[in-house]
Amino acid sequence: MNWIIRPATSDDAQGVINILNPIIEEAKYTILDIPFSLEEEVAFIENFPVNGIFNLAIHPETQKVVGFQVIEPFATYTHAFDHVGVIGSFVDSGFMRQGIASSLFLASFEIAKTMGYEKLFAYVRQDNKRALATYLKQGFEQIGLAKKHAKIRGEYIDEILIEKFL
């Protein structure tokens, strides 16, 4: 299927939280641990960094948001990291393994290069093998392990550090 990839607007906030909140509530695939309200997501989108990328994957027939990807500046307190972005990717559980992530990566990588990003960085939960495989398939490399980096519901979670040079 040819997914429609486009930038998010505040009108898309409900579609984003329809994907994100069930993933947060399941507590298996993200370190995010507090579901977002519609108002919080609208504010997040409206205040998204100008030099960031917030892409959506839209189902071409239903116009439903089926995935999204964000790239945010690694740091804003110095220009030394202006070439580095932090990437996060989420796909609706009912649409896994249909090329959505690949479509998002393709679009986001191209936009990121035009915006001056040279490297993308991410943290992936060590127990999220599916996400790690997806990122590695896109050319990311594992560069480290942050032990006990997150604590969710009383349990420590290690995170794998990955990067990709554009």
pLDDT tens track for 55-66: 999 999 999 999
- Percent pLDDT > 70 in the chain is 100
For the chain, what is the domain count?
1
Higher pLDDT, 21 or 32: 21
pLDDT band at residue 95 under the 50/70/90 scheme? confident
H or E stretch at 92:
none
d(CA 63, CA 57): 9
Dihedral sign of CA atoms 115, 116, 118, 119 in order: negative
Q: Which of these, 138, 85, 75, 80, lies nearest to 111 by C-alpha position?
A: 85
The parent domain of residue 100 ranges over: 4-165
Q: pTM for the complete prediction?
A: 0.92
- Sequence-ordered list of residues with C-beta below 8 angstroms from that of 80, at least 6 positions apart, any chain: none
Report the C-alpha gap between 77 and 103 in whole angstroms: 32
Q: Which CATH number is 18's domain given?
A: 3.40.630.30
Determine the pLDDT at residue 161: 97
Question: Residue 25 pLDDT > 90, yes or no?
Answer: no
Q: How far from chain centre, in Å, is Cα 12? A: 15
Which pair of tokens denotes residue 1?
A: 């299927």
Q: What is the mean pLDDT of residues 143-158?
A: 92
**If you average pLDDT over residues 108-123, what whole number do you get?**
96
Please state, rounded to an integer, the average pLDDT across all residues of the chain: 93
Torsion angle (degrees, nearest 10) of CA 91, 59, 105, 125 = 0
pLDDT score recorded for residue 31: 80
